[in-house]
C-alpha cells in the first residue's frame, strides 16, 4: 500500500477527517476539491470560533452585577496561564523541599554511622547511649527520605485526579457491563431477567446514586483509619458513582452487538462443532466488538460528565471540587478560573472521545465509522 493509502487509512482510523484534504492535496488530487475540504474543516471552524469569541467578549462587557462580571476570553486565558504558573511554582517548591529532606537524610545516616563507630569503641552505658543515638538518627533519616509534600493540590493535580477517577470508574463499569451484556445477548432468558433492572436504573441521576454509593463506601471503611486504606473514601465514592452511571450504554450496546451476530456465523460454528468458549472468543466477541466499543465510547463520555458532579458532592480533589471551591472562594479571579476549567473539561472530553473513536475504528475490520 502506498503512502497515500496509509495516510488516508490513518485519518479514518484516528477519526481525523480534517487531515484528509491535506493528504489528497499532497498526493496531487483535484486542488479545487481539496481546498473546498480544507475550507470546510479548517477555515469554517476558525470563522465560527472567531464569531463565538466576539459574542463572548460582547457578553462579558454587558453581563455585570454588583459583585461580579462574566469573564471575557482574555481574562479567562490569563486565569488559565496563572493556574499553570502556580502549578509550576508549587512543584518547584516541592522539589526543593524534597531535595532538602534527602540531604537531611544523608546527614542523619552519616551521624548514625559515626554513633555506631563510637559505640563499637566504647562499652557499658556509654555504648548504649551511642547506639540509642544511632537509632534516633536512622529514624530521622527514614522520615526525611520518605517525606511527601503536604501542599494543596494544584489545578494540574486536580486534572490528573479527575482522570484517574474516571478511568477507575470506567474500568469497573466495563468489567461489570461487558460480561452481563454478553450473557444478555446470548440468552434471551437472562436478558428478560435483567431487563427490568436496566430499564429502571439506566435513567437514574448521579445525584441520586451518590448518597447510596457514599453509604456503602463508608460502611466498607468502618473500623479503618486514614492512611491504612489504599483508596480515599471520596475517590471511591466518585469512582463508584461514575461506574453506576456509565455502565448502561456499554451493557445495552454489548447486548445488541452479541444478539445481532450474523446467524450464518453461528451456523458455521455448529457445523465445525466449536465449543461454547470457542464460539464466544472466535465468533461472538469479534463480531460484536464495533457495537461494544460504540457503547464504551458513550459510557466514557457519560462518566466524564458525571464525574464533575460527583467530585463536587463527594469532595474528591478533582476538577469538580476545583470548580466548587472557586465558586465558594469569591475572589476576583473566581469566574475566570471557572470559565477556564469549563474549557479544559470540554477539551479533555473531546480527547477522550477521539481516543475511543480510534479504538472503535481499529476493531471495525477495515470499515471504520465516520467521526
Q: In what helix (H) or strand (E) does residue 40 lie, and over which residues does it extend?
A: none
User: pTM for the full model?
Assistant: 0.81
Residue 32: CB atoms within 10 A of its CB come to 7
User: Which residues touch 97 (CB under 8 Å, ≥6 apart)?
Assistant: 147, 149
pLDDT attached to residue 371:
42
pLDDT attached to residue 159:
93
Q: Which of 363, 358, 340 lies closest to 17 in space, CA to CA?
A: 358
Report how far residue 301's alpha carbon sits from residue 295's, in angstroms, rounded to the nearest whole number.
10
Is the CB of residue 134 less than 8 Å from the CB of residue 119?
A: yes
Q: What is the pLDDT of residues 72-97, one digit of tens each?
A: 999 999 999 999 999 999 999 999 99
pLDDT attached to residue 166:
92
Residues of the chain falling short of pLDDT 50: 370-371
Amino acid at each position: 500500500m502506498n503512502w497515500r493509502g496509509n495516510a488516508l487509512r490513518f485519518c479514518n482510523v484516528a477519526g481525523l477527517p480534517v487531515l484528509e484534504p491535506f493528504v489528497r492535496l499532497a498526493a496531487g488530487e483535484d486542488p479545487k476539491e481539496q481546498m473546498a475540504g480544507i475550507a470546510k474543516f479548517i477555515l469554517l471552524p476558525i470563522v465560527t470560533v472567531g464569531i463565538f469569541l466576539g459574542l463572548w467578549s460582547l457578553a462579558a462587557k454587558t453581563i455585570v452585577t454588583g459583585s461580579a462580571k462574566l469573564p471575557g476570553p482574555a481574562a479567562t486565558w490569563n486565569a488559565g496561564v496563572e493556574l499553570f504558573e502556580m502549578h509550576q511554582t508549587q512543584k518547584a517548591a516541592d522539589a526543593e523541599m524534597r531535595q532538602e529532606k534527602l540531604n537531611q537524610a544523608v546527614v542523619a545516616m552519616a551521624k548514625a554511622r559515626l554513633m555506631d563507630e563510637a559505640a563499637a569503641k566504647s562499652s557499658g552505658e556509654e555504648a548504649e547511649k551511642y547506639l540509642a543515638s544511632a537509632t534516633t538518627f536512622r529514624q530521622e533519616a527514614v522520615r526525611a527520605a520518605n517525606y511527601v509534600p503536604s501542599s494543596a493540590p494544584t489545578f494540574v493535580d486536580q486534572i490528573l485526579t479527575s482522570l484517574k477517577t474516571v478511568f477507575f470508574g470506567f474500568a469497573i463499569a466495563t468489567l461489570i457491563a461487558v460480561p452481563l451484556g454478553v450473557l444478555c445477548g446470548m440468552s434471551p432468558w437472562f436478558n428478560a431477567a435483567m431487563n427490568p433492572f436496566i430499564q429502571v436504573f439506566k435513567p437514574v441521576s448521579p445525584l441520586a446514586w451518590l448518597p447510596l454509593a457514599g453509604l456503602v463506601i463508608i460502611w466498607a471503611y468502618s473500623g479503618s483509619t486514614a492512611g491504612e486504606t489504599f483508596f480515599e473514601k471520596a475517590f471511591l465514592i466518585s469512582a463508584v458513582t461514575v461506574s453506576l452511571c456509565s455502565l448502561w450504554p456499554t451493557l445495552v450496546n454489548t447486548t445488541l452487538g452479541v444478539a445481532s451476530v450474523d446467524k450464518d456465523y453461528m451456523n458455521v460454528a455448529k457445523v465445525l462443532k466449536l465449543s461454547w468458549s470457542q464460539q464466544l472468543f472466535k465468533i461472538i466477541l469479534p463480531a460484536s466488538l464495533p457495537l461494544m466499543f460504540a457503547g464504551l465510547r458513550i459510557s466514557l463520555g457519560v462518566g466524564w460528565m458525571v464525574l464533575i458532579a460527583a467530585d463536587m458532592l463527594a469532595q474528591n480533589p478533582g476538577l469538580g471540587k476545583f470548580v466548587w471551591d472557586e465558586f465558594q472562594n469569591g475572589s476576583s479571579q473566581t469566574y475566570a478560573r471557572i470559565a477556564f476549567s469549563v474549557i479544559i473539561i470540554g477539551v479533555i472530553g473531546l480527547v477522550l472521545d477521539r481516543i475511543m473513536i480510534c479504538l472503535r475504528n481499529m476493531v471495525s475490520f477495515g470499515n471504520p465509522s465516520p467521526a
